[in-house]
Amino acid sequence: MQLDSKVPEGPLAEKWNKHKFDIKLVNPANKRKYDVIVVGTGLAGGAAAASLAELGYNVKAFCFQDSPRRAHSIAAQGGINAAKNYQNDGDSVFRLFYDTVKGGDYRSREANVHRLAEVSVNIIDQCVAQGVPFAREYGGLLDNRSFGGAQVSRTFYARGQTGQQLLLGAYSALSRQVDSGKVKMYTRSEMLDLVMVDGKARGIVVRNLINGEIESHSAHAVLLCTGGYGNVFFLSTNAMGSNATAAWRAHRKGALFANPCYTQIHPTCIPVSGGHQSKLTLMSESLRNDGRVWVPRTKELAEKVRSGQLKANDIKEADRDYYLETKYPAFGNLVPRDVASRNAKMACDDGRGVNKEGQAVFLDFRDAIKRDGKDLISAKYGNLFQMYHKITDENPYEVPMKIYPAVHYTMGGLWVDYNLMTTVPGCYALGEANFSDHGANRLGASALMQGLADGYFVIPYTIGDYLARMPYDKVATDHPEFKKAEQEVKDRIAKFVGKSEGTKTVDEFHKELGKIMWEYCGMARNTEGLTKAKKMIQELRADFHKNVKVSGGDKEFNQTLEKVMRVADFMELGELMVDDALNRSESCGGHFREESQTDEGEAKRKDDEFSYVAAWEYKGENQQAELHKEALEFENVKLTQRSYK
């Protein structure tokens, strides 16, 4: 299979404009003849559904939650980047582009990233016009902050709830279109398969989660805006329902899956405490602006902290190892996420972790409070301190926080071309569900930017190019292909329903899968571990299909059934992530291969061998996936080794 990225010719800065002119348009009067399905109602899906309906297309939007407003974009805290240069500090579209490609460790497509930087400025205009209450200065103009180690202040924010406010903006635009009759909204509906007719995506099969009915929906194009797959790890900062099923089902129908091993492990999360934990909570990384990361200098001291004989505040200055400040004097505690995470792991692997489980480091505000006063620290981080206090029952104004890295975001996803189309004609992937813009590592405040860029400003143009070539004819849902897909879904469900004799619960299997992934395909990976993990996942999957215990029936509200279907797909995706990690024997971004490091223990890329997108083709159940490569060419940025010393 030849992967054609369809990146337009011409100078980088003119590609998108030129492309918008070159692609075909659908006449305004003809748009109403086309139906578009949008799966997922987060930033990408909500924005796309609203924008396409405004243009005149008939949109059907689907979400598994009880309301489109609950999509997991809502939980994003920090902010959204845009190259507005309102602060007059030297930002520009080109700088945002450059930072994003560099931050992604040179594993993303230049043209896509430049387009993202270009439309970033429109996103802010759009959101403000919708009534999104961004932070403002006293003069009434928008405020910005620096985020994630960026050297300019380009991040727009709404307290610590930027994702919520942006999502509610998209939700309001979507609600308006539902009111106008251009969007038909299906809540508590989960996509379980993609339907192909004559080689094109022509619809989906969903399960109505309230009554369990299997329903088919037909359209001229299908947009998957279904988020990332971080929940493969069981424990992550994702919502409990976040899943990969829609994307995985499309993958099984021919959509290549790109760079599945690129996962982002966020350094500042509340550590795991005990086996009952269901999810991990992220603390905004803005905390690292003032907090100092440290562990005790020796294992012996750490052991005393773990057993409760010694309190953090009683440890003398000389016995504290501020390892980030020592190792990276230029960036200190503000090193990028992957570097901060890896170093926390190294300190804990070294036996110097500070909670009962030995899987935590300190994030200490003692010196900041001494310097700036409690009031100022409270004004900056009050809500985060309160959240931490509530969860852990420890007061961070008095004792250092304990933090540990957690799975947060997945840069990999369905392979898409410049138009955001997957390798299945008519099937698009937007937002975190695609692989397109973040390379091997995503910068802070860039996820919201990409979701909204794809939904508001890219797909409304690029989908026209495809639809303009499509006949208006609709495919009826009693077409044999729909019936076949429905039957496949029913058969899949039937395999799980009534497995009340199973020996282990879905969660138990999911936790085991998570442990394998975290241990061998987490913050550091090597050939031996990955090889072992592949076999372990295969065995676990076989055991899962044989022994998982499911209660209740299929024609009813059944949360166990919902879960088992999702975990079944995670069991397959997990193996592909391991395959990809095994193939990529270089380190880059969030993917650290122990065999490929510099003398100082930093990630070492192998640009000659691995400057490509790894796109995997599904070859059948329990068959080895096939690798395809899209070469990455860099004409506008210079590849360098990232250094934060």
Query: Footprint of another protein on residues 179-238 (CB under 8 A)?
Result: 179, 185, 187, 210-211
* φ, ψ at 329 (rounded to 5°): -55, -30
Instruction: Assess 631 for contact with another protein (CB under 8 A).
Output: no
Residue 337: active-site member: yes
Q: Return the biggest CA–CA distance within the chain.
A: 76
CB closer to another protein out of 299 and 546: 546
Footprint (CB under 8 A) of another protein, residues 572-611: none
Query: What is the smallest separation between the CB atom of 172 and another protein, expressed in angstroms?
Result: 4
For 448: left if phi > 0, alpha if psi spans -120 to 50, otherwise beta; the answer is alpha
Footprint (CB under 8 A) of another protein, residues 249-278: 273-274, 276-278
Q: Which stretch binds another protein (CB under 8 A): 97-105, 119-127, 307-315, 527-535?
A: 119-127
CB closer to another protein out of 174 and 335: 174
Task: Give the helix ranges, DSSP H, for 181-280.
Answer: 245-252
Helices (H) and strands (E) in the chain, counts: 18, 21
Q: Which of 324, 311, 301, 479 is nearest to 398 (CA)?
A: 311
Rounded-to-integer distance, Cα 182 and Cα 176, Å: 9
Give Cα 34 distance to the centre of its chain: 30
* φ, ψ at 524 (rounded to 5°): -140, 140
Query: What is the smallest separation between the CB atom of 566 and another protein, expressed in angstroms?
Result: 13
Residue 195 host element (H or E):
strand 189-197
Footprint (CB under 8 A) of another protein, residues 23-62: 47, 50-51, 54
Residue 407 host element (H or E):
strand 401-410
Query: What is the smallest separation between the CB atom of 387 and another protein, expressed in angstroms?
Result: 8
Task: Give the helix ranges, DSSP H, for 3-150.
Answer: 15-22, 43-55, 93-103, 110-130
Rounded-to-integer distance, Cα 354 and Cα 601, Å: 23
- Interior/surface letters 144-180, b for 16+ CB within 10 angstroms, e for the rest: bbbbbbbebbbbbbbebbbbbbbbbbbbebbbebbee
CB closer to another protein out of 62 and 262: 62
CB closer to another protein out of 123 and 576: 123
Instruction: Assess 279 for contact with another protein (CB under 8 A).
Output: yes
Task: Give the helix ranges, DSSP H, for 77-227.
Answer: 93-103, 110-130, 162-180
* Binding residue (CB under 8 A) for another protein from 87, 92, 281, 538: 281
Instruction: Assess 65 for contact with another protein (CB under 8 A).
Output: yes
Footprint (CB under 8 A) of another protein, residues 399-438: none
Q: What is the 3-state secondary structure (H, E, C) of 35-59?
A: EEEEECCCHHHHHHHHHHHHHCCEE
CB closer to another protein out of 191 and 577: 191
Residue 488 host element (H or E):
helix 480-496
- Angle between helix axes 93-103 and 110-130 (nearest 10 degrees) is 120
Instruction: Assess 155 for contact with another protein (CB under 8 A).
Output: no
Q: Which stretch binds another protein (CB under 8 A): 96-104, 154-162, 298-306, 462-470?
A: 154-162
- Interior/surface letters 90-116, b for 16+ CB within 10 angstroms, e for the rest: ebebbbbbbbbbbbbbbbbbbbbbbbb
Instruction: Assess 373 for contact with another protein (CB under 8 A).
Output: no
Instruction: Assess 379 for contact with another protein (CB under 8 A).
Output: no
CB closer to another protein out of 167 and 524: 167
Query: What is the smallest separation between the CB atom of 268 and another protein, expressed in angstroms?
Result: 14
Question: Which residues are bridge partners to 62 per DSSP?
Answer: 39, 186
Query: What is the smallest separation between the CB atom of 603 and another protein, expressed in angstroms?
Result: 30
Query: What is the smallest separation between the CB atom of 69 and another protein, expressed in angstroms?
Result: 6
**Cβ 248 vs Cβ 571: under 8 Å:** no
Catalytic residue selected from 337, 352, 525, 605: 337
DSSP secondary structure code for residue 453 in this structure: I
CB closer to another protein out of 67 and 598: 67
Query: What is the smallest separation between the CB atom of 350 and another protein, expressed in angstroms?
Result: 26
CB atoms within 10 A of CB 186: 20
* Binding residue (CB under 8 A) for another protein from 24, 159, 546, 619: 159
CB closer to another protein out of 21 and 138: 138
CB closer to another protein out of 113 and 458: 458
Q: Which of 2, 11, 8, 46 is nearest to 459 (CA)?
A: 46
Footprint (CB under 8 A) of another protein, residues 495-514: 500, 505, 507-508
| Residues binding another protein: number (CB under 8 A) | 82
CB closer to another protein out of 556 and 595: 556
Query: What is the smallest separation between the CB atom of 224 and another protein, expressed in angstroms?
Result: 19
Site string (461-500) toward another protein, x via CB under 8 A: ---------------------------------------x
* Binding residue (CB under 8 A) for another protein from 100, 263, 410, 560: 560
Q: Which stretch binds another protein (CB under 8 A): 66-74, 343-351, 395-403, 599-607?
A: 66-74
Footprint (CB under 8 A) of another protein, residues 307-326: none
CB closer to another protein out of 28 and 274: 274
**Cβ 436 vs Cβ 256: under 8 Å:** no
Q: Which stretch binds another protein (CB under 8 A): 163-171, 397-405, 482-490, 532-540?
A: 163-171
User: What three-state secondary structure class fits 29?
Assistant: coil
**Cβ 548 vs Cβ 534: under 8 Å:** no
Footprint (CB under 8 A) of another protein, residues 82-111: 84, 86
Rounded-to-integer distance, Cα 557 and Cα 442, Å: 37
* Binding residue (CB under 8 A) for another protein from 234, 328, 388, 457: 457
Query: What is the smallest separation between the CB atom of 97 and another protein, expressed in angstroms?
Result: 20
Query: What is the smallest separation between the CB atom of 399 and another protein, expressed in angstroms?
Result: 16
Q: Which stretch binds another protein (CB under 8 A): 71-79, 326-334, 336-344, 357-365?
A: 71-79
Query: Tokens standing for 481?
Result: 């292909």
CB closer to another protein out of 51 and 226: 51
DSSP secondary structure code for residue 401 in this structure: E
Footprint (CB under 8 A) of another protein, residues 330-369: none
Site string (522-551) toward another protein, x via CB under 8 A: ---------------------------x-x
Residue 20 buriedness (CB in 10 A; 0-12 / 13-18 / 19+): middle
Residue with tokens 């909570």: 281
Instruction: Assess 171 for contact with another protein (CB under 8 A).
Output: yes
Footprint (CB under 8 A) of another protein, residues 122-141: 122, 124-141
Query: What is the smallest separation between the CB atom of 253 and another protein, expressed in angstroms?
Result: 27
Residue with tokens 């193996």: 575
Please identify every residue annotated as catalytic: 337
